[in-house]
Structure 1
């Protein structure tokens, strides 16, 4: 049996086909342009296979509410051509098979829980810090979704006492994404994150903002593990700084696990999302 996966990002779509043991049979990266162009290449890739199901983890916001008329749509996105795009409908019309549907970060959380840094646990949060900030969660083995899906990058944070930057988010200015995503780092300091590796003040401030996010997720969801991925988190010096700031912010209010084990990089590295999408495909087949 073969399963398909689409990790749909704002820059590229990663498409993959695996067997039931998650062994990748074929994989392809497709540039994200407009739906007509990108989806034509996506379908060309999958048309070669007889699939049991497809799992999709998409950039958002998306509609995950099965009671909604726009379930399966990408909704309010600035990405040209993709706003109000019926993603699930387009795939379903092409292949009349079960479709699993969630956010790209929820898919990554599922991948890390089942096959990565949170194996043998029942809950985890996956946060990506890169061009944007997004988070997904698995609680008691199930993806966290309700009326909508988590938008963890847009929680409000306290401003660092030395920070005068107004914030990059077009909706909220100084939310977590607006203060700590890659474009905010570049706008504040005048260079991209990878050119600032040796600037301690950059990473102390970055860790302060990310730790506030982790404090909120810890106090609201109590996950067993938090996995931090994305391009900015490849600056591994961030991890001890984030743990230090989180410990200070929590102020011994609640018992915490060992922070070295609680806040970790993704074990699946850049494959967390595509692994989660394949697992989503398999789960969707079981529900039929």
Structure 2
């Protein structure tokens, strides 16, 4: 979604904190973004300071009604927790314990994961607008999965971390590059995992390389497990690795159908090409996810 002309206030501010970059967005209450700023994700103190400068600059010029923060995780997303808004044990060096609440001031706000934010945005502006349940899978610097049931993210002891689901290795002896788990999805198919395996950035790997067949198999296995547990109406794939390799979609779909083998609702899925799709919002999913969180914060605070 392109930037829009500025309209009358009030406004919403959003921050997407990603593994390699952060996007600050300013939008009207309908979600139309008219300003955005990019900050490289480096050391947390420096990164958050730069974001603070942007947000407070906007605050001086605009009536900001709510703020949404959509961050990489793991993240404490429980508003009742004393550590709400803090990063937990994360593969991102130096970020464990970083407190995102420093970005806030006395205005309604909501903090959630970047993948949950993107999934909720797809439900308003993207590929899940007419659905009650869906899963959003992002494959990029990491692998995130947002299961959405009745248009709300699944919550329990924490947020979903299905990107760290254990799956069979695509290569004998290869346990992946995840620093926490041997044999998890993220450790096999994220951008850094592919670079570790192939010795070059994922963006430089040829479409003909056999590694992409392994990626398709692992993502199909992830989708199989989501299909038989979460039972979504649709699974959508986003993130740089998925977006930049559109040829993978049909391969993953074929492997998924073969894996489900017509069992239970697998027979129906095999007749539903719309069950597995590319996410519609593309690179706008993250910024719009943070703005969607701001919309929800504003709605919750309304009298």
TM-score range with shorter-chain normalisation?
Answer: over 0.9
Mapped partners of 2:241, 2:91: distance in 1: 22
Q: Is the 8 A contact 2:91 2:179 kept in 1?
A: no
5+ long unaligned stretches in structure 1: none
Q: CA RMSD in A?
A: 1.6
Mapped partners of 2:291, 2:134: distance in 1: 18
CA separation of 1:281 and 1:245: change in aligned 2, threshold 3 A: same
Aligned to 1:150, the other structure's residue is in SS state coil
TM-score by length of 1: 0.93
Q: Select 2:75's aligned residue among 62, 70, 74.
A: 62
- After superposition, the C-alpha distances for 1:21-43 in whole angstroms (9 at most, x for unaligned) are 21212110011222332222212
Give the alignment of 1:86-235 within 5 angstroms.
86-88=99-101, 90-92=102-104, 95-160=105-170, 163-233=172-242, 234-235=244-245
Q: Is the 8 A contact 2:121 2:292 kept in 1?
A: yes
Task: Confirm whether residue 52 of structure 1 aligns to residue 65 of structure 2.
Answer: yes
Mapped partners of 1:132, 1:274: distance in 2: 17
Q: Select 1:8's aligned residue among 10, 17, 37.
A: 17
Aligned to 1:85, the other structure's residue is in SS state coil
- Please report how far the alpha carbon of residue 248 of structure 1 lies from its aligned counterpart in structure 2 after TM superposition: 0.9
- Please report how far the alpha carbon of residue 2 of structure 1 lies from its aligned counterpart in structure 2 after TM superposition: 0.2
CA separation of 1:165 and 1:13: change in aligned 2, threshold 3 A: same
Mapped partners of 1:244, 1:167: distance in 2: 24
Q: Is the 8 A contact 1:65 1:146 kept in 2?
A: no
CA separation of 1:157 and 1:19: change in aligned 2, threshold 3 A: same
Mapped partners of 2:190, 2:51: distance in 1: 29
**Which stretch of the first structure deviates more once superposed, 19-28 or 238-247?**
19-28
Mapped partners of 1:198, 1:76: distance in 2: 34
TM-score by length of 2: 0.89
Alignment length, in residue pairs? 284
Mapped partners of 2:155, 2:286: distance in 1: 17
